[in-house]
Amino acid sequence: MASLSDIALAPSRPARLHLWLAAALVLAALASLQVGAADVTLSALAGKFMRGEALSPLERLILWDIRLPRLAMGALVGAGLAVSGAILQGLFRNPLADPGIVGVTAGGMLGAILAIVLGGLLPAAHLARTGGQLVPLAAFLGSWGATLLLYRVSTRGGRTSVATMLLAGIALAALAGALAGILIYMADDQQLRDLTFWNMGSLAGASWPKVLAAGPLVALALGAAMTLGRGLNGLAMGEATAAHIGINVQRLKTAAVLCAAAATGAAVAIAGAIGFVGIVVPHLVRLAAGPDHRTLLPASALLGATLLTLADVIARVIVAPAELPIGIVTAVLGAPVFLWILLRRKGGLA
């Protein structure tokens, strides 16, 4: 039997969970800085640091220009995808929703493919002006374009129909897939290779410019997402009841869509299509801490960052000195977990 004092104590539990997850993220980050193709280890570097010796240019290059931006990018992408998943699951009131279903990923894919295949047709001068970031830029615009289109299609008279958005997202993904098919048909061998890698998702192209381009956007989306917790909790009782307890439902839906599109769009732009993070991470958090979005959103950000960082470590060591695209690692680990989630569900898909 629960007494009043048990319930008053409850808020300290999420705080503890967040501490644990933050500690796990630090450990994952250390592991990520430790491993790589080059024989540079943190312990050796720490030893040098203690003895007051300077790092060699090579060591500095590997740590500062290769491993750190990669770590930062993995953490950003992981946090962004996981939080987007948690937001969309709350919005659609379905624990199986995923950034992939609202067309954000499909739009990003179409943008990226357009840039890869048609980018070659652009005059070199135009291409140079994009600083070699044409593909991420196009992917980002594609994600946003898709989301805004969906949002427009599903909003009538100031009210957004979440069900329409879900179905229109499926249609849009199919359309993007068909267009992508045409482009793939036109592509040459090198472009096909680029495309395949982009589709599998990868952190291999990590660089500070990419981190600086996506970082503020993901950070902004995550920050805004943390204010959605109460509203998404209320939405679990349906839109009408959420409004009856005082939530401005239309504003909540708009904010949720914008946050998810910004975080997913930025993640897809720099790392390609990385699957399963958005579904599996929020589910694991719900198992550990329950469905309260005020806990779920920050915890998903931390766990998403941690798991993607670890997946990247696996991607780098498992076939060293080569590396796997990280999307393969998340799919191999995530798909079975996803199936397990499906089979565990009591009430079917309703």
Contact (CB, 8 A) for 68 and 33: yes
Q: 3-class SS at 11?
A: coil
CA 161 to centroid of chain Cα atoms: 24
Between 109 and 232, CB nearer to other proteins: 232
Tokens of 23: 């500690």
**56: DSSP letter:** P
Cα–Cα distance for residue pair 172/270, rounded to 1 Å: 22
Nearer to other proteins, 90 or 103 (CB): 90
Shortest separation between residue 228's beta carbon and other proteins, angstroms: 13
Rounded-to-integer distance, Cα 65 and Cα 71, Å: 11
Q: Which residues bind other proteins (CB under 8 A)?
A: 1-2, 4, 6-8, 93-95, 230, 233-238, 240-241, 243-249, 286, 290-292, 346-347
User: What's the min distance (Å) between Cβ of 229 and other proteins?
Assistant: 11
Burial class (CB in 10 A: 0-12, 13-18, 19+), 83: buried
Minimum Å distance from CB 307 to other proteins? Answer: 21
Q: Distance between CA atoms of 39 and 112, rounded to whole angstroms?
A: 34
What are the angstrom distances between the C-alpha of 230 and each of 87, 113, 249, 297, 336?
12, 38, 11, 11, 31
Q: Which is nearer to other proteins, 9 or 174 (CB)?
A: 9
Q: Could you tell me which of 258, 331, 313 has the C-alpha nearest to residue 42?
A: 313
Quote the least distance from Cβ 101 to other proteins, whole Å: 16
Residue whose CB is less far from other proteins, 193 or 345: 345
Q: How far apart are CA 51 and CA 53, in angstroms?
A: 6
Continuous segment of H or E residues that includes residue 156: strand 155-156
Tell me whether residue 292 or residue 312 sits nearer to other proteins (CB atom).
292
| Closer Cβ to other proteins, 235 or 328, answer by number | 235
Nearer to other proteins, 18 or 230 (CB): 230
Give least dist CB 324 to other proteins, A: 34
The H or E element containing residue 293 is helix 293-317
Q: How far is the CB of 77 from other proteins (least distance, A)?
A: 26
Measured from the CB of residue 300, what is the shortest distance to other proteins in angstroms?
Answer: 14
Pick between residue 133 and residue 250 the one whose CB is nearest to other proteins: 250
Q: Is 134 in contact with 191 (CB distance < 8 Å)?
A: no
- The least distance separating other proteins from the CB of residue 287, rounded to whole angstroms, comes to 11
Length of the chain: 350
The torsion angles phi and psi of 193, rounded to 5 degrees, stand at -65, -45
Round to whole Å and give the CA distance between 146 and 308.
25
Q: In angstroms, rounded to a whole number, what is the distance separating the alpha carbons of residues 134 and 137?
A: 5
Q: Which of 155/199 has CB closer to other proteins? A: 155
Q: How far is the CB of 11 from other proteins (least distance, A)?
A: 10
User: Rounded to the nearest whole angstrom, what is the least distance from the CB of residue 93 to other proteins in the complex?
Assistant: 4
Q: Which is nearer to other proteins, 108 or 234 (CB)?
A: 234
Q: Is 38 left (phi over 0), alpha (psi -120 to 50) or beta?
A: beta
Half-sphere exposure of 31 (CA within 13 A, CB side): 20
